[in-house]
Chains A and B, each alone.
Chain A
């Protein structure tokens, strides 16, 4: 499994504040992903990156931005958190075709 860590693991914040979640990988995988997981919706892709400084939107990207300045780090930013962004956020990495995605342990975010 890819060595994937996420920080923080838990966060409680207030509506309107900015929040940044960090994903760090040690396997040099080219692709990195941010998902959110909510009851009744399953895993939904927010943004993904296919290389340093190369990112693209997923199906639920509104209200989120990402950055990737190094291969090993992928940041997810909520510019102004809303209660609808309360969720569990998972980072994943992928080496390429023939391989599968590997997931981090998740960050539980609560926006009050």
Chain B
């Protein structure tokens, strides 16, 4: 079993739809959870960063972490064509568990159609 599993999609939605992206993981030591957005032929850029369980909201984006289920989600409300990109989940352990290394999902390619 891979440490981090992410459905690669592709996912195609109409403009204005609510998008749900998910990752599951197996390492209970993970404490830091991130979502990166990567446009075609660009480097990944940080979208959301959360520590431990709970929700975090930033504009149209909401990140959720459920450590008991080892499951993280990213929700995009009122999706726009500019949201079309590949979304990568990433996570790392705490200070004593190798926090210097990120483990990435393979990414989900999202297309938002006008």
Contacts and interface: CB of A to CB of B under 8 A. Distances in A.
Interface string B32-64: 101010000111111001010000000000000
A40 B112 CA distance: 22
A103 B43 contact: yes
Contact residues on B (Cβ < 8 Å of other chain), bracket: 20 to 34
A87 interface: no
Of B36, B43, B51, which is in contact with the most chain A CB atoms at under 10 Å from its CB? B43
A64 interface: no
B106 to A, nearest CB: 4
Contacts of B102: 45, 101
Interface in B80-114: 88, 90, 94-95, 99-102, 104-107
Contacts of A102: 46
Contact residues on A (Cβ < 8 Å of other chain), bracket: 20 to 34
Interface of B: 32, 34, 36, 41-46, 49, 51, 88, 90, 94-95, 99-102, 104-107
9 nearest A-B pairs in the assembled complex, by CB-CB distance: A42-B106, A103-B43, A43-B104, A103-B44, A105-B43, A97-B99, A100-B49, A106-B43, A100-B46
Given A42-B104, A43-B88, A48-B101, 15 more contacts: A41-B106, A42-B88, A42-B105, A43-B44, A43-B104, A45-B101, A90-B43, A97-B94, A97-B95, A100-B32, A100-B46, A101-B90, A101-B102, A103-B45, A106-B42
